[in-house]
Structures are given as C-alpha cells and as structure tokens.
Structure 1
C-alpha cells in the first residue's frame, strides 16, 4: 500500500499498552484476533459463525477513531505474513473499510483488494459482504468498478482461464455478474478472450475467434478453454483422460458423471495436490481406483511419504493425522461411503505423520503441555471428527520433537504426572502414555500450580481437556499468580476438544486463549498467540 495515501499518525495497531497483570486494553488486540480467526474475544471456535452487523460495529469504532488506513494495512500485513487462518474475517473487514465515509480508508481498502482476493471465491465473498453492508445506496461506484476490473486485468490470460473455469460462481455472484456491473474493459488480448468466454460462453468465443488468426498467447488460452469445453461435452472416456493429461485439468473442471470412471480418476490422481490426495484417499479406495497391491497404490504411498513433497505442500502433521484417522475409520462422516482401508496406505500415512513433524519450525519458547485424563479421551473432537486422545497424543509429539524446552504431563484429581514422549515413539505408543493414569475430577489450574510449586519456568501452558471445570482455583487467576512469582508473561491456551463454548480465558488478557473443538486452523491459532501475532 502506498504510504502517501494515508496521513501520518501514531500507530494504533502497534501499540502495546499493558497494565501490571499483563493485560492489553487496546483495540489492536481485538482487531488482530478478529482478523486472524474471526472473533475479537479470547476464543477460537472450530465452528465458523456468520459475520454481520455486530462485527461491523466493532470495526467501525476502530475505523472512526481516524485509523482506517491502519486497519487496512493490518489486514494486508496479517494476510501477507500468513497469520490469518480463515479468509472471511479479512474480506469482511476489508468490505467495511471500503464503505466507510473516509475517502482515504475506502481508497486504501480497494487498493489491496487484488492482493487479498487470491481466488474468485474470495472476490465473490467480498462483493457479497459489501452488498450486505450497504445502507440503501448503490455500492457499484467508480472505485469498486475499477478495483474489480483491476482484479481481472492483473492476471495473465491462462491463469485467469484456469481460475474462472474452476470457480464459476459463489455467494450468489458469478463472473458474468461482476463483469457486467464493473463495466469491464480488458487491457490485453488474452483477458479479452476470457471475458468473452465468461459473458458469451464458448459459442460466443467460437464466433469471435474460430476463423481468425491468433497470437501465440491467445492461442494457448483458446486451446485451454476448448479443452475445458470438450471435457464437459465428450462421452469418450479416452478423450477425457487425454484432455486431463495434456491440459492438466482438475477435478472441479470435470463433470460428476465422468468422475465415476476409475480411469478418469486415475488420470486426475497424477497431478492431484498432496493435501487434496490425502483428503480423498477413502473415496479413491471405495471407488476401486486404489486396489491392494496395485501400481497406483504404490505410487500414492510414495507421494505421501515423500519428505520434499510434504515440505513443499507445507503439510502440518495434524493435517496428516486427520487424513490418517479418517482413512482408517473406513467410512465417511455420515457413513454412506465405505471402504476397506489398505494396509500399505495406512502405513504410508503413519510414516508421513512422523516425517511431517520436521516441517514445524521451533518458536524457541518453553512449553508445558498438559493433558487432562480425568475423563475418557475416546470422545470425538468438534471440528476434526477424530478422537481426543489422538489429537492430544499427536500435539504432544509435535511439541516434544520441535520445541527443545517442552515438558509433557498428564493430570487428574489433584495429581500431575510427568509423561515421557520420546522421538522414537509411534502415535499409538504416545497415546498409551496419556491414558495410563486413572481418571478423576477436572482442575485446569492444576498444571500451572504444579509448575509453580516445582519451580518450572514456562512461557506457554497448553492444556488439552474435554471439560472446562475448575475445582480449586480459576486457571486465569492461577496464571496471574504464576506470572507475579516468576516475572514472566506466561501464556495460557486451553483446548476444550469437545466443548462448544469455554469461559476460562480472561477476554482482556492478550496472553490467554480458549479453543473450542480442535481442527487444522487451531494449530495456526496456537502458533499465532505463542509468537505474539495476536
């Protein structure tokens, strides 16, 4: 963003005004929380809630203090640095900024639109938020028309063709709608071709370009769109496979009818992104695309265990765990789709989990990871549909192997027991370590008290529990006492894996966070608070 677009002013976003207890009472913390995970409170919930007028009021209070440009810059920064775990809060906040009365705030918001909207789905969502936020007046002014036009014109023709054929509409909007409303004026020949396709369809493209001489770039885009159209209308399985292989067509561009073909699925399998592949292993097995002992299974297992591929895809071990547990279950979430898990694939996923741990970068902090064993850990966690013991064991392994200063304990009924999670353990062995202590009552303050009484220096307490109750002391108050004793601004993260709500974290304390359920986003939220991103 051009610094000259905003007047010089103190940075509200970078202010860190703390009181003696370590509380930050600035709106900046609330803003970061909202942009990172969709709630200005000290709670992350795996269930994403709709964003509406109540969120707009919170943002408007911040913007109306004269710091709208800084809000836009914070949206841009958190996204560019990878701290946002969900796209919608940023898109919503950007929509609010783009409609504010302050001209520079509106200008700044629309200037970063193409940077934040990396895919058509994001653009559609942003436009829909603007529609929901408008108050009686039309929203399609010159600035928005120019911003949407720039989004299309900023891409090369082939990339744009790939994007618009994979996502044609969302949130009640289509590309045809946006092009009509923004009065689109393409700036190069390849974008002209794609715009013709979006507004007039393939028939319009054929009429305009079929017999004309085309430049090399235009010919590439024309050939790609032709392949997409042929794949939609062909009944020849061999032709579909050829089109997939030659033009690298993806699952979203193939009709559902064709996806019933094993050979078509095998063709898609070759270029399928690793994360998508692991997600669809169950269906591929159920559809007999992956059969025991086949070359296809061998190729898939090789890809899953490839350390370089795992690193390139930035695959977190928790994502591998989810794929593994879902595959081993042998049926989909609703039980309609069923398969017999292949032992080679199961083994490959187990191996991939261990290998992917090395993808996690150390934060250099001192951790106490505490697992509540006062109740059964066989429950299914909200947000990931896998057992709470599998989540707790996996996260203990990740912290123990990536953070040198980590202590793992289990606790229940007034007792805290150190737990040795070694690097040569399997997930099952780690899980067995967590469930060897008998159950009792839940007291989430216990690990903090234990650390204090045993002179353990801890930067971050992470507690995994099924419940939120505290018998002897409030964990938030106990943490404050620990901070005063040690002089360390220690943080507390409580993961209520089957909870729909928690009330442990002090909402005004930037060092506390409640997590309801547990999913792949929760992993990133934890890292954000550990590294002071929120």
Structure 2
C-alpha cells in the first residue's frame, strides 16, 4: 500500500502543473539558509563563503517588499533544525537588518535574540554587519544594533550569562568587553550589572564594589560562581581543581592549559561533557591514556555512550556515531601525529549506540526508493571520513529502511537491477553484504526510476547513490523522472548523490525536484529531509 503522499488520481496535475517545480526566490532563499548556496548542489563538509552576491534571492525579496516574509523564513530554518549550519541564517539576518525598510529592519533586530542563542552566534551577527557595511564607509553601531545587543544580554538568565562570558570569551575578533562597551548596554538588573562590571573591569574591581555591599540572593550566587572561576584560574593544586570542577560543573574553557595536562582533570571533565564532544575526542583521550582498558572511568563512559536517555538528550544521529566509531577504529588522527590503540569496550559501546540511535531519527512520512550503484568498487573512501562508500551506502539505506515505513532498496548497474531485502533487524555488515551481492558493470542511474515506473511503484523521493562522477552519465535520470511523474501522478523528487564526487553534478535545471549531493555527511540527511518536505 502506497502512502497518501502519492495520490494515483492526480495524474494530470503531476503532468501539467509546472508551478510545483518552479524554483522561486523563496525556494532559493531556503536553499541558502539550509546550506549556504542558492544552487541545486550540496557539497558535503564544505564551508560556504557567505556574501551578498550569494544571496540574490534574499536581495530580490527585500526589493519586492517581502522582508518580513524573509525574516520569518530565517527564523523558521534557524529554530526548527532545518539548517545544516547556522551561519547562513545569521548572515541573512544581518543582511535584512541593513534594509532600508523600517518594518524589515525592526523584525530582523527583534529576531537576533531568538536566532543567536550563544555568544558565538551574536559575535558572528555583528561581524557580518561589519563586513556588509565596509563598502558603505559608515559605522554599524546605530541605535537599533545597540538595542538588539543590549536586549540579548539583558534577556539572559544571570547564572547562564555568567557561565557563557567565562566559557565563550571571544570569537572572530569580538569579545564581550568590546560588545558591551560599543552597545552602551545598561544592565536590566543588579546581577547583569555585576557580570558587565566583571567583563569590563575584572574580578578585583568587582570585589571592591561588592564586598561590603548588601547584595540580593541572585547577586550573591553570581559572585560565588565568579569567585570559583577566578579561584580555579589561580590554582596549581590538582585535587582542588578537580573538586571545583565537580562541585560547580566547570567546563574545560574555564581551565588553564596546565590543568588540561592532567589525566585526572580530563576524567572528571568527561563525566559532564556533552556526548557529541566526547565522541570527537575519544582518540585523543585514549592516546593520552585518560581512557585506559578496564578502568572504571572507561567503563562508566561506555555505559553512558550506550544509554538511550543520553543518546536522546544528545540527539545523536546513527551516521555521526558511525563516523566517530570508524575514526576511532582507525587509530590515527587526520592531522598531526596522534595515534592510539582503539579500546575494544569503547568500540563495542559505540556499536550498541549506533543501533539504539535510530530511535532519534524522526520519520518524514514519504515513500522512498534508495538505489545503490554497484557498477564500480565500493571500497573507496567518502571524502573527509574514515568510512568506505559501501559502508556509507549501507548506513544511508538503513536510516531510511528503519525509519520510513514506505522504503524500497535496489542495487543496480548497467542492465542489472535487484530488489534488496533490508529489514530493521539487520546489522550494518549484513546490509552491506546485501547491497553488493550482484555483479557490477557500467553505471545507468536511470534504471531504478524506470523500474519503479514500469512496476507501478509511485515514489516520493528517489535517492540514487553512486561512486562515479555524476557528470559522466550518458543515460539521463532526469528524463526517466519526468516519465515517472506523468505515469504515477506523484510529485517525485530525485537526489543524485556522488559519494566520492567533489564537483558539480547534474546539469543546471529550474526543476526544484532535483538536487545533487557531492560526498556525504550528516548535513546531507537534513538536505534530503528538506527536499522531501517541499522546502527547498
């Protein structure tokens, strides 16, 4: 039974309604917000260079008086987790705040405190403002920006603000001291005033001002916290540092470099460190013997890694756990000379976590056909990772097969195509074996779409995975897709993914149902989700 998203009785609509496929300014804006480019190509692991020239759709919307609409889209993508990275949204917000229309400008500045959730985001917004103003030869610190920055600081919980000003002190050439001074922020309460004084004048000035003063309960709490932060900065006693970290939940950014030379300090930091960060430094911690085979700290970490509650809290995706696991198994960093012998218990915990984390993937509710190209060797490595293209194809397949009720999986090459049986209880190794069981040949990416059309299988989203450079194809999957739309009555979309590709893919098209992915990373799943939901 097909899901309701592929109505059989709407054949004429799919064949003749071209408006559904129009790449409008709003669609281009959404693409920019999602991955920093208005084009139909997402390049994995690539940081987009942001500038007004790359945001033509946004500029067009602003010129047409659609600024409020644009700001609402920016907020939507930034807050709903629809963006691969937040930088494009922050840049777009800065661009809207430069607009001459007062309503747009006001809406953009009001959105700063919603989108810029931490100091790094706020500093990025200010830096983008500066870069956009450089050609105009005028300052950025007008009344509106000063108010937006003041509102950001005054809108924070005092204890949370005390924590962030001592952990994220500066980014991209901006510091809290600079920003508070330039914004002329007037603290909304005594606790914020205390933190502002600490940032501007330092701890000694704060002590002089507040020691003999009758302080509120909140001010006393902030004073006590800042006293601990100062105390740990001047402590050479390992035991004292460890006790302060445990008692006050201090983070590594609040410690001295010398403190981080201690194995014991790292062990206590790992207990409270967000799981995403822990996975990034497993190799380093093993190399430094912070994590040792059989040690109680290692056992405790392994238990945490595979706990469903911890995985859910961290919102870890199976693909990110796989990347961490394969990198750890590799035993060597991508840069530098750091090497380690992977601990078996940690690898086992990561394996358990990988399968449990599929519960974190929210179903989209569409019908998918995932087709894996077996025409060439799948033993090459996905750029920027330690995983082979065969394993990458397998985990991509598993994500959709396990979370989407209407998913079919095909393995294909030239003239050969086989429907694969991928069940929810299959392991990664079993899935990989199932995908590569048919012999290879040349690549014909149109075969999976033709198969679906000829067999009456209406598909919302085709995901075609290949090892080949996508510009070398002779058979056009685009033409096959158009025929499938006409016959099925489904607004089918096509994602062409070159797992080892680094350049442009399919020919430029104004068909918004087509998207190319070069390489593969966690962000690619976000891009596919947005396409499936008609957002980009």
Question: What TM-score bracket applies, with the shorter chain setting the length?
Answer: over 0.9
Contact 2:496 2:516 in 1 (8 A): yes
C-alpha distance in structure 1 between counterparts of 2:385 and 2:149, whole Å: 36
Verify: 1:147 aligned to 2:145, yes or no: no
C-alpha distance in structure 2 between counterparts of 1:207 and 1:476, whole Å: 72
Verify: 1:428 aligned to 2:429, yes or no: yes
Partner of 2:128: 129
C-alpha distance in structure 1 between counterparts of 2:478 and 2:171, whole Å: 42
Verify: 1:475 aligned to 2:484, yes or no: no
Larger mean CA deviation between 93-102 and 415-424 belongs to 415-424
Verify: 1:218 aligned to 2:219, yes or no: yes
C-alpha distance in structure 1 between counterparts of 2:264 and 2:23, whole Å: 59
Partner of 2:417: 416
Partner of 1:29: 27
Structure 2 unmatched ranges of 5 or more: 1-15
Verify: 1:120 aligned to 2:136, yes or no: no
Task: Report the CA distance between 1:472 and its aligned residue.
Answer: 4.1
C-alpha distance in structure 1 between counterparts of 2:394 and 2:261, whole Å: 38
1:118-517 equivalence runs, <5 A: 118-134=117-133, 135-334=136-335, 336-467=337-468, 468-469=470-471, 471-504=473-506, 507-517=509-519
Verify: 1:73 aligned to 2:72, yes or no: yes
Task: Report the CA distance between 1:506 and its aligned residue.
Answer: 5.0
Task: Report the CA distance between 1:471 and its aligned residue.
Answer: 4.0
C-alpha distance in structure 2 between counterparts of 1:419 and 1:245, whole Å: 51
Q: What SS is found at the alignment partner of 1:249?
A: coil
Task: Report the CA distance between 1:21 and its aligned residue.
Answer: 7.8
C-alpha distance in structure 1 between counterparts of 2:519 and 2:343, whole Å: 29
C-alpha distance in structure 1 between counterparts of 2:435 and 2:107, whole Å: 51
Task: Report the CA distance between 1:31 and its aligned residue.
Answer: 1.0
Q: What SS is found at the alignment partner of 1:514?
A: strand
Larger mean CA deviation between 478-487 and 123-132 belongs to 478-487
C-alpha distance in structure 2 between counterparts of 1:432 and 1:335, whole Å: 34
Partner of 2:88: 89
C-alpha distance in structure 1 between counterparts of 2:533 and 2:177, whole Å: 43
Task: Report the CA distance between 1:359 and its aligned residue.
Answer: 1.8
1:50-65 equivalence runs, <5 A: 50-65=49-64
Task: Report the CA distance between 1:185 and its aligned residue.
Answer: 0.5
Aligned residues: 517
Root mean square deviation of aligned Cα: 1.7
Larger mean CA deviation between 488-497 and 141-150 belongs to 488-497
C-alpha distance in structure 2 between counterparts of 1:56 and 1:369, whole Å: 32
Deviations 1:421-464 (A, max 9, x none): 22222212222222333332222222112222232221110111
Partner of 2:527: 525
Contact 1:367 1:407 in 2 (8 A): yes
Task: Report the CA distance between 1:169 and its aligned residue.
Answer: 1.0
TM-score by length of 2: 0.93
Task: Report the CA distance between 1:516 and its aligned residue.
Answer: 1.5
Contact 1:41 1:507 in 2 (8 A): no
C-alpha distance in structure 1 between counterparts of 2:461 and 2:323, whole Å: 25
C-alpha distance in structure 2 between counterparts of 1:441 and 1:245, whole Å: 59
C-alpha distance in structure 1 between counterparts of 2:260 and 2:377, whole Å: 41
TM-score by length of 1: 0.93
Structure 1 unmatched ranges of 5 or more: 1-17
Deviations 1:149-202 (A, max 9, x none): 100000021100111111111111111111111111101111111111111122
C-alpha distance in structure 1 between counterparts of 2:521 and 2:294, whole Å: 32
Task: Report the CA distance between 1:521 and its aligned residue.
Answer: 1.3
Task: Report the CA distance between 1:141 and its aligned residue.
Answer: 0.6
Cα distance 1:62–1:530, how it changes in 2: closer, same or farther (>3 A)? same
C-alpha distance in structure 2 between counterparts of 1:68 and 1:161, whole Å: 35
Higher relative contact order by CA 8 Å / sep ≥ 6: 1 or 2?
2
C-alpha distance in structure 1 between counterparts of 2:440 and 2:205, whole Å: 69
C-alpha distance in structure 1 between counterparts of 2:364 and 2:105, whole Å: 37
Contact 1:505 1:514 in 2 (8 A): no
Larger mean CA deviation between 236-245 and 310-319 belongs to 310-319
Q: What SS is found at the alignment partner of 1:66?
A: coil
Task: Report the CA distance between 1:312 and its aligned residue.
Answer: 2.2
